[in-house]
Amino acid sequence: MIQTINLKDKLTRITEYWHPGIVGELNDSHLKLAKLKGEFLWHHHDVEDELFMVIKGSLVIKLPDKDLHINEGEFVIIPHGVEHKPVAEEEVHVLLMEPKATRNTGNVENERTVEPEWL
Amino acid sequence: MIQTINLKDKLTRITEYWHPGIVGELNDSHLKLAKLKGEFLWHHHDVEDELFMVIKGSLVIKLPDKDLHINEGEFVIIPHGVEHKPVAEEEVHVLLMEPKATRNTGNVENERTVEPEWL
Using CA atoms, how far residue A1 sits from A6, A95, B44, B73, in Å, is 15, 21, 17, 20
Residue of A23, A24, A34, A28 lying closest to A119 (CA atoms): A23
pLDDT, tens digit (0-9, with 9 covering 90-100), for A5-41: 999 999 999 999 999 999 999 999 999 999 999 999 9
pLDDT confidence of residue B1: 87
Using CA atoms, how far residue A86 sits from A70, A93, B61, B70, in Å, is 10, 12, 35, 30
* Helices marked H in chain B: 7-11
Within chain B, which residues score under 50 in pLDDT? none
pLDDT confidence of residue B70: 98
pLDDT confidence of residue B35: 98
3-state SS class at A97: strand
What is the CA A6 to chain-centroid distance, rounded? 17
Q: B29: which chain A residues are within 8 Å (Cβ-Cβ)?
A: 27, 29
Question: The complex's ipTM?
Answer: 0.94
Chain B residues in contact with chain A using a Cβ-Cβ cutoff of 8 Å: 2-8, 24-27, 29, 31, 48-51, 55, 63, 68-70, 73-79, 82, 97-99
Chain A residues in contact with chain B using a Cβ-Cβ cutoff of 8 Å: 2-8, 24-27, 29, 31, 48-51, 55, 63, 68-70, 73-79, 82, 97-99
Cβ distance of A26 and B76 shorter than 8 Å:
no
Q: What are phi and psi of B31, to 5 degrees?
A: -105, 125
Cβ distance of B2 and A75 shorter than 8 Å:
no
pLDDT, tens digit (0-9, with 9 covering 90-100), for A65-78: 999 999 999 999 99
Using CA atoms, how far residue B98 sits from B20, B29, B37, B80, in Å, is 12, 5, 20, 10
Indicate the pLDDT class of residue A1, thresholds 50, 70 and 90.
confident
pLDDT confidence of residue B45: 94
Angle in degrees, CA A100, A89, A51, rounded to 5: 25
Q: What is the mean pLDDT of residues A52-67?
A: 98
Cβ distance of A24 and B75 shorter than 8 Å:
yes
Contact A119, A20 (CB under 8 A): no
Mutate to test the interface with A, among B5, B27, B77 (most CBs of A within 10 A): B27
What is d(CA B53, CA A38) in angstroms, rounded to the nearest whole number?
28
Size (chain B), residues: 119
Residue A101 has pLDDT above 90, yes or no: no
Residue A94 has pLDDT above 90, yes or no: yes
pLDDT, tens digit (0-9, with 9 covering 90-100), for A39-55: 999 999 999 999 999 99
| Cβ neighbours of A115 (radius 10 Å) | 8
CATH of B7-118, one of 3.40.50.1000, 2.60.40.1730, 2.60.120.10, 3.40.50.720: 2.60.120.10
The two most distant CA atoms of chain B are separated, in Å, by: 44
| Cβ neighbours of A54 (radius 10 Å) | 22
Q: Where are the beta strands (DSSP E) in chain B?
A: 5-6, 21-26, 29-39, 50-56, 58-62, 67-71, 74-78, 85-99, 117-118
* Helices marked H in A1-88: 7-11
Mutate to test the interface with B, among A1, A3, A4 (most CBs of B within 10 A): A4
3-state SS class at A8: helix
How is chain B split into domains, by residue range? Answer: 7-118
State the average pLDDT for chain A: 96
